Amino acid sequence: MKKFLVFVLISVLVVLTFSGVIDEIKKRGYIIMGTEATFPPFEFVDKQTKQVVGFDVDIAKMIAKKLGVRLVIKDIAFDGLIPALMMNKIDMIVAAMTITPERAKMVSFSDPYFTAGQVIVVRKSDSFRPKSYEDLKGHRVGVQQGTTADIDVSKVKGVDIVRYTRFTDAFLDLAIGRTDAVVLDAAPAQAYVKFNPKLTISSPVLSEEKYGIAVRKEDKDLLDFINEVLKEMNSKTCYDFLVSLWF
Ligand code: ARG
């Protein structure tokens, strides 16, 4: 009898440890995507519907659809995304997040789904036209806290960095002269410049970065599933359609 109980206990433990997060997601009926939604065209709040929309949201919707569950979106600070994932508050990060070795120590990244790079945005009316990070020395520069722009610009000595949670605030401060420049990924930079004719991109693309979807290290089943969806999207030219829709 005792032996039998031990056997049952071990079997239950084995099932608990080996049934992956996908089972859990299917049981609860939704998958939670964490993002920071001031980053058009990847993720931003639609003025009319007040919903978070964009290229990343469509990819996440595809993942949810293939899993047969709903997509729930949590819009939080960018530097809070990895902690939120590790504390089980979200299932995946879809936030135009660059795959970096430091981040990859904490989370697993999917195959890359987008290639990007940093640019510098300034006021059109100014004569200041920085072409490199070095040119930012002696200036007040806005970045989003915890982004690759923050990491890269922090390495240059003599730059007065202002760190923001939301890009909307970073661009407001740039527009009214509280900062001299903002550094961010090229596609969102273009979106903000298009929206605000007072601003312009002054530099070439300064880095090469690849975006990945992040999951917890132990959620190998979800990682494999996401990679399958990304692969399928590419082969079905669904990806090209999304690019033409959002860019
Ligand atoms: N690609 C940059 C990074 O990974 C910026 C991403 C910002 N994304 C966002 N949704 N705010 O650091």
Confidence of residue 235 (pLDDT cuts 50, 70, 90): confident
The atom number, within ligand 1, closest to the CA of 35 reads 10
CA–centroid distance, residue 238 to ligand 1 (Å) = 23
Q: In this prediction, what percent of the chain has a pLDDT beyond 90?
A: 87
145 CB less than 6 Å from ligand 1? no
Provide φ and ψ at 162, rounded to 5°: -115, 120
Cα distance between residue 140 and residue 215, in whole Å: 35
Determine the average pLDDT of the residues in 61-83.
98
Average pLDDT over residues 157-164: 98
- Which residue in the block uniquely carries the two structure tokens 């089980």? 88
| CA 2 to ligand 1 center in whole angstroms | 55
In sequence order, what are the beta bridge partners of 34?
74, 93
Tokens matching residue 95:
């936030």
**pLDDT tens for each residue of 94-145:** 999 999 999 999 999 999 999 999 999 999 999 999 999 999 999 999 999 9
Is the CA virtual torsion 128, 134, 139, 141 positive or negative? positive
Residue 64 has pLDDT above 90, yes or no: yes
Closest to 211 (Cα-Cα) out of 104, 40, 81, 96: 96
Ligand 1 neighbour 150 (Cβ under 6 A): no
Ligand 1 neighbourhood includes 43 CB (under 6 angstroms): yes
Q: Which atom of ligand 1 is nearest to the CA of 103?
A: 4
Residue-level pLDDT at 239: 87
Ligand 1: does its nearest atom lie under 6 Å from the Cβ of 97?
A: yes
For ligand 1, atom 5, name the residue with the nearest CA.
147
For the CA of 100, the closest atom of ligand 1 is 4
Q: Are 224 and 123 in contact (CB under 8 A)?
A: no
Whether the CB-CB separation of 84 and 92 falls below 8 Å is answered with no
Domain annotation for the chain: domains and CATH numbers: 2-115+211-246 (3.40.190.10), 118-201 (3.40.190.10)
Residues 107/223, Cβ–Cβ less than 8 Å: no
Cis ω on the peptide bond leading into residue 41 (within 30° of 0)? yes
Atom of ligand 1 minimally distant from the CA of 98? 4
Q: What pLDDT score does 27 carry?
A: 97
Q: How far is the CA of 234 from the centre of ligand 1 (A)?
A: 22
What's the chain's average pLDDT?
Answer: 94
Give yes or no for residue 13 having a pLDDT over 70: no
147 lines ligand 1 (CB under 6 A): yes
pLDDT band, residue 236 (cuts 50/70/90): confident
The pLDDT score that the predictor gives to residue 241 is 86
* Ligand 1 contacts CB of residue 98 (under 6 A): yes
